[in-house]
Structure formats: structure tokens, C-alpha cells
Amino acid sequence: YMLTPEGKYLNFSGCGNTLNCNHPVVRNQVVDCLRHWVADYHIDGFRFDLASILGRDSDGTPLANPPLVESLALDPVLARTKLIAEAWDAGGLYQVGNFPAYGRWSEWNGKYRDCARKFLKGDMGQTGEMAQRFSGSPDLYFFRGPTASVNFITCHDGFTLADTVSYNQKHNEANGEMNRDGANDNHSWNCGVEGPTDDPAIQTLRNRQVKNAMAMLFLSQGVPMLLMGDEVGRSQKGNNNTYCQDNELSWLDWSLREQNADLFRFCQSLIAFRKAHPALRHGRFAGVAPGKLEISWHGTKPWEPDWSGTSRVIAFQARLRSDDQDDVVYAAFNMYWESLRFCLPQLESGRRWHLFANTAAESPGDVHPVDGTIPLADDPHQVPVAGRSVVILTSS
């Protein structure tokens, strides 16, 4: 373990001690363990909790070229596995965008989570950064490509997506720590009432906000990560630190699949839409040859995005051209509370806009199956976008 000169444990894990990962014996043990999981159990990859610890020296000093991180990246047995870093630790070493990658490591993009949550709840001044996150975070991963960014809005730590739109504050009393455990900066909004409610207007808004978040996630360049249960509206009743709960707070109630069938269907359709549109999942950033991916930014008027500090609105068009396809997706995000009309970019002669999804519409009109007929947009020149909603179009 990492020790102070007095022989006490150094604590960068939040659990009381920290393994001395770059000691030669420990390093070899870690590599041997991972080889075992890959060679004998055919594991596809690994996500490393508090991965910044892997880059600390025996006294806790961050290393520029940590031996263990390099060894895992270059090991021939692990060559085809995914290596994903939670690029921070409990000691304050935050390395999102700067984790030593050696051409192999991807990262949980914590900056994506924070910006997406703030944009979702209508915070001002987020559109500029949100454009970076939609683009695969080139400000963080320009030399590594968008697949280095594992985009997420929720994970096993913190609120579920349903709780992110239902609670302003954490409610961890059941953990026995007087609500002191768990993160305080959740960037959440309860839509008007804290916790469960019978108010149909608030229920409708929460459902829409969950769909808005999913639309952000699956329309972003990079690698989307969905928390199990978010697709069916799973709640932890406001508890954002349920590691110690082996009960209904941490279990998945499979009956939610039927109870929130519209949410499940919306998520399912978004995944199919992403698979059907390579413009949403390109391996290179827009404008980087030979990618041919083009991303243009818009506001309520084409080619006029509002980057001001008061903006809550952004739209983009992603287009991927090649010899055998011309894939175009347009998405308008209105996180303002009133309806706005978005004028659409003009298409070439013979092409028309088709309406794939509108999070403000009632199910089943909120989304259309990819393998079916996606209807034409009512107006080829403009589309109304309700307050706090997302509209997604494609063209053919």
C-alpha cells in the first residue's frame, strides 16, 4: 500500500487506503490478473474505477508516464480488449481529457455528464460547451478521436436518470450517514416537486426530460453509455449512493418494462436510429480528413447559432458523405420553457425532411420506427419545437 513516511496509509481511494499500483510486484500481479480474465474467460474489456490511482507513485505523486497504465496499454494479451478509465480519484486528481492513453485508453467523460445535465435543466451559458460534447469533445480528445470519449449522463454512482429529473437534493438518509455521503453537486432538477407526485403535468415533463437526455446521449459523437434501468424509468428514491443497499433501492424492478413501455420504446428506437445513421458515430472528428463528416451549428435560424450566455437553444446538422451514401441528421434542442420555431437548413433539390422524433409528442407519436416509414415533416422549411423538448429529423 501507499504509506506516509510515518507508516500510515495514504488514502486516494476514499476507502481508507490505496494500493501501490506501480510497485513492480503489484504491477505484475495486476497484469497477470487481467490476462487471466481475458485468456481464460474471454472478457471483452475493463473499466477501472478511480483510474487516476493507477498513475500515482508510491508516495502519491502523479507520474507523467505511469508504468502500470503503459503496461496495460501495450500488453499483447490485452491488445484486443477495451481499456476504459474513470479518469479521476478521491484524492482530487482529475484527468478527464489528460489520462495517459498510449493510443489505447478511453475515458468516462465526466465533463459530458456535467454539461449535459446543466443544459438539460435549462442552465444558461451551456450551449458552447454542449456543442463540444455533441461533437465528441474535440477540446479534450482531438489527438485521440471521438471514441476516446465514453459519454454518459448517469452511471452506477449518483442519481438515476429518473431521479435526475425528480429530485433537487440527494436523499441518502437510509444509508445511516445522516445524509452526508454521496455527491452534493448533482446538477439535477425536480421539475417542480421534490420526489414522487400525482401531478400529471409534472409527470409529463419528467418523462419528456428523460427522453431529452436520451436524445442528447445517442445523438452525440463518441461512445454512448446508458445506465441499466434508465430505459425503464428506474428510481432510487433520491438516494445517490446506494452501494450499501441490498433492497428495492438498488434492485431493478423488471415490471417497469411494462409500466414505462413508452420510455423503453423511445430508447430502443434511438439506439436503432444511431445504428442506422453513421453520421452520428464517426471515428473521426468533423472536418478531419479523410472523415468527410460535416457538423454545422444552428439556432432558431439556420447557420445562426446563439452562443450567448443567456442561450438555452442549439441545433445541429450532421452529414456524412461518401460514394455510396449521403447521411443527414438534424436535431433541435429547446431547453427554454416556451415553444420556439426553428427554420431548417435548405436541402438539395429532391430531398425532403422526415420527422423521426419529437419528445413533446404523446406516445406513440413521439418516435417512429427506423425500419418503418418515417413521415415527412409537415413543413419542409421550419419545425415547431415545444418548450423543453427535442426534435430529430433526417432527410432522403
Provide the total of helices (H) and of strands (E) in the chain, helices listed first: 9, 12
Phi, psi angle pair for 98, to nearest 5°: -130, 10
Spatial CB neighbours of 243, under 8 Å, sequence gap ≥ 6? 250
Spatial distance between the Cα atoms of 329 and 200, rounded to a whole number of angstroms = 32
The yes-or-no answer on residue 86 being catalytic is: yes
Alpha-carbon distance of 130 to 116, in angstroms, equals 7
> For residue 16, with 0-12 CB atoms within 10 Å meaning exposed, 13-18 middle and 19 or more buried, which class applies?
exposed
Interatomic CA distance for residues 372 and 386, integer angstroms: 25
- Rounded to an integer, what distance in angstroms lies between the CA atom of residue 162 and that of residue 229? 9
CA distance 300 to 312: 11
User: Looking at 32, 49, 199, 362, which residue is catalytic?
Assistant: 49
49 is catalytic: yes
Catalytic residue (choose from 44, 57, 86, 177): 86
DSSP state of 273: H
Cα–Cα distance measured from residue 151 to residue 116, given in angstroms and rounded to the nearest whole number: 10
Say whether 270 sits in a helix, a strand or coil: helix
Active-site positions read 49, 86
